[in-house]
Amino acid sequence: MQITKGLLEKYGPDRVLDTPITEAGFTGIGVGAAYHGLRPVIEFMTFNFSMQAIDHIINSAAKSNYMSAGQMNVPIVFRGPNGAAAGVGAQHSQCFAAWYASCPGLKVLSPYSSEDARGLLKAAIRDPDPVVFLENELLYGQSFPVSAEVLDSSFCLPIGKAKIEQEGKDVTITAYSKMVGYALQAADILSKDGISAEVINLRSISPLDRAAIDSSVRKTNRLVTVEEGFPQHGVGAEICTSVIKESFGYLDAPVERIAGADVPKPCAASLERLVVPQVEDIVRAAKRACYRSVPLAATA
C-alpha cells in the first residue's frame, strides 16, 4: 500500500525488515522483540492475514502483562488495513474491530483522518502495551486538511478519547474509520431536512470513550451507531448496551444500529454495495430515530 515507502532508505535495514509473507513467523519475532524492550511495529498487508498470527497477538502479546503480575510490558503495534476494500472478496474484507476489542490486554484504535492517523499512531508506538491499529485501505488515497498543530513534531492524540466531528442537538451518530465520512455526509443531508446531527468519531474502540457518548446522547436524546463490521456482537452493540445502562432515561427513541450485513462480503461491486452500510442507510436510521420517516403503512 506504500504506507511505509521511504522508511528503509531513512532508517536502514537494521530497523526496517522486509520479511516473507509468513504472518505467524514475523509476528512472533516482533512479540519476542517487544519482550526484550524494543518497540516493534508489525505491518499486516491486510488484517485478514492477522488470523495466521492471532495466537501471538492474543495469547502472547495481550496477556503477558497480566500473567507476569505486571512485571512484563509488551510495547508493540500491529497495524494495517482493515474492513472492506473494493471487490476483494470475503476473505479480504472483514472488519476486526470487535474481534480484537473483546480481548482484555489489547488497545484497539481506528483512525479516520490524517490527524487521527498521525496522532494515534504516535500514541500507539509510545504506549507500553500492545495496540491494534486498524486503518482503512480506501482512506489511503483520500485527502484531509492538516493544521500546523498536527504537523508539529510534538503532536500526539490520547488513547481512549473520541472526537466530536460535528456538533448537533437532535441525534447522536457514532462511527469510526471510513464510516465517519459517511456519517458526516449523512449529517449534511439531514441538516437540509431540519435535523441537527452530532457526529462522534470514536477513534478508540478499546478503551471506548463512553463518557463522550453518554454526554452527547443526554443532549440529543437519540442514538445511531454506524460500523461496517458484522452486526452480531459488534462495536455498535457494545455502545448500545452502555448507553442503555447509563443513559436510558434520556432516550426519546429506540437506539438505531447500522452495520454490515450478516453475510460474507461478496466480490461483485453491485452486491458488495448492498452489504456495506451506505450514507442513505444512516439518513433513514436518523430519521426513524427522530420520528421523521414515513410509516410503512402510509406507503402501502
Three-state SS at 50: helix
Active site residue 36: no
Cell of 50: 492477522
Three-state SS at 179: helix
* Closest residue by Cα to residue 139 from 3, 45, 276, 275: 3
- Cα 268 to chain centroid distance, Å, stands at 24
- Mark out the alpha helices in the chain (DSSP H runs): 7-11, 23-35, 54-55, 64-67, 97-101, 114-126, 148-151, 178-191, 210-220, 235-247, 269-275, 279-289, 296-299
The Cα 294–Cα 46 span in angstroms is 41
CA terminus-to-terminus distance, the chain: 49
Q: Which residue in the list 92, 227, 238, 272 is annotated as catalytic?
A: 92
The Cα 276–Cα 230 span in angstroms is 9
SS3 content of the chain, % helix, strand, coil (to 5): 45, 15, 45
Count of Cβ atoms closer than 10 Å to residue 1 Cβ: 13
Active site residue 92: yes
Q: Which residue in the list 23, 165, 227, 256 is annotated as catalytic?
A: 23
Q: Which residues are catalytic?
A: 23, 92
